[in-house]
Structure 1
Amino acid sequence: MNNEIKHPTATQTSKLKRNKLKPRRPTEDQISDMAQSIKAIGQIVMPIDVRPVKGGYEIVDGEIRWLGAIRLGMDIVPINVLSIDAQTANEFSLITNYITNDESTDFELNPEIILPSLERLVDEFGVNAGEIVLEKLAFLEEHNAMGSPEHQARAVALLQRCGIASKDL
């Protein structure tokens, strides 16, 4: 007898929920382009990465595919169920947002986008978010993207909230 837990490979679009801590929302152009792509191919090629939450699934990666499917009136979408906790899901979302963004260099180096995302992560997970906060702030520093005194003050405050000395940056 196989005792392995089986996860669904598809679900109703209505069972999916946005990740409320995702740093950016898709643009209309991104959703339209995705809908056109799905329509041209006839299906969603890459499943939407999700994690189980009460009443359905939270999207970890694939929000644009989900919204494109909704725009086309699709009721069922392919999913890949990940067994991860909320912090890991949020870190994964933050990382995949960097990787998949067409304007990734501008996004990665924009403290106006990065700092609020990191602040939300710390609000949600406290000192446990310290490693990712340090990594992202070091990246901004390395590329001289923390020029304004306000950004620098916010970065130091984030590090303090995570119990990290600002000299570690």
Structure 2
Amino acid sequence: MPAKHQSGLGRGLGELFQRTDIDDESTRDKALPPEIDHAGPSAPLEDGSYFQLIPVSQIRPNPKQPRTVFDEDALNELVESIKEVGVLQPIVVRKVNQDQYELIMGERRWRASTEAGMETVPAIVRGTEDGNLLRDALLENLHRAQLNPLEEAAAYQQMLSDFGCTQEELAVKIKRSRPQISNTIRLLRLPAPVQRRVAAGVLSAGHARALLMIEDPVAQEQLAQRIVAEGLSVRATEEIVALQDGSTAKKKRERTPKEPSPRALELSSSLSDHFDTRVKVDIGRNRGKITIEFATEDDLERILNIVNGQ
């Protein structure tokens, strides 16, 4: 099996663990080159869990895993994503013997990493059988980690999916707002080339959020290239997106788009504040439309509770 480049993006939750072989604080806070980043075990958390890059050949699936069928198309999509940007969300394993590990969470990521030809996969080696201890330890450390926006999004998503956390629980634990968490997770919807630019710091989180307002992935990539080439600000990017949105609407309706009325803009702003998410109000001659965006099912449930006055 040919060796593949190990992306430096496989840090995510791994950055919650500090390397034991780096003592200088100014150096510790800086991202290490991909070829040496987390080459060995990290300093363990209080529950004994630690982060390490593990050879995929040393990992075996959990025989008690209830899930035996994996969607082939979804798995192939994950394989391509890993080839592009690496494994953003570490798997969780337990050590069986000196050079053998058993999967606890993340079998799709492990399978896809194997098919992608990755030699190693980022993993959290659990130091206890109590999954709640590991979850709580990671939650407590998350706000201290120096993650880029994409790694932060992957860490949030992993908490929600692997450890059964809600956005509200995560927000309380790491002292960040629920909308901030929700908006950060949305960055994972971006195409892989755009994600790479965000991870590298070429595009800011603000640029990325503006790009999310475009539905077409190809158009997202094209505008991302323009942002880098022309050094566009976030505000300029948002204006371009608004113009493109109007142009798309024109093609769909085959008529000249009109600017939103002051009343529509006022209502959009007011409702966005009320629901703590992006709301668009369209007022037509005979009818109107209100579009409320949400990130996850938890976010949708929160919005529905507000609508119902709960």
* Bucket of the pairwise TM-score, normalised by the shorter protein: 0.3 to 0.5
Q: TM-score normalized by structure 2?
A: 0.26
Q: Would you tell me which structure has more helix in proportion to its own residues? A: 1
* Higher RCO (C-alpha under 8 Å, 6+ residues apart): 1
| Structure-1-length-normalised TM-score | 0.45
Larger radius of gyration: 2
